[in-house]
Amino acid sequence: MEGTGQRIVPWLLPQIKQQLKLPERCYHFLHYHGENDDEHLQHWLLALAISLKQGGETARDDILRTARDVAGLYRLQMEHIL
C-alpha cells in the first residue's frame, strides 16, 4: 500500500471528515502519510529488495500473500467508510 497515500488521501480525506466530523487533530496520521509518501516508498522498496534477495521464492510468496490480505483489509475499510 506504500506509494498510494498521495493519490488516495486527497480524495478520501474530505469524505472521511464529512462522515466522522471529528476534530482536525484526529486526521494527523492521514495528512502525514499523504505528504510523506515518497520517502516511505523508498524505504519500503529497499526493504522489499533486501527481503527478496535473502528470502528468495519463499519471501516472494509471503510478501504476495500479505499484500493480498492487507489489500482486502483496506477494501473492507473503504466499504465501511464510503
For cell 521464492, the residue is: 57
CB-based contacts of 10: which residues, under 8 Å, 6+ apart?
Answer: 34
Whether this model's pTM surpasses 0.85: no
What is the per-residue pLDDT for 51?
94
Assess whether pLDDT exceeds 60 at residue 1: no
Identity at 28, one-letter amino acid code: H
Q: What is the pLDDT of residues 31-60, one digit of tens each?
A: 887 777 677 778 888 999 999 999 999 999
DSSP per residue over 31-75, as a string? HHHHHSHHHHHHHHHHHHHHHHHHHHHHHHHHHHHHHHHHHHHHH
Q: For the chain, give every domain's residue range.
A: 5-81
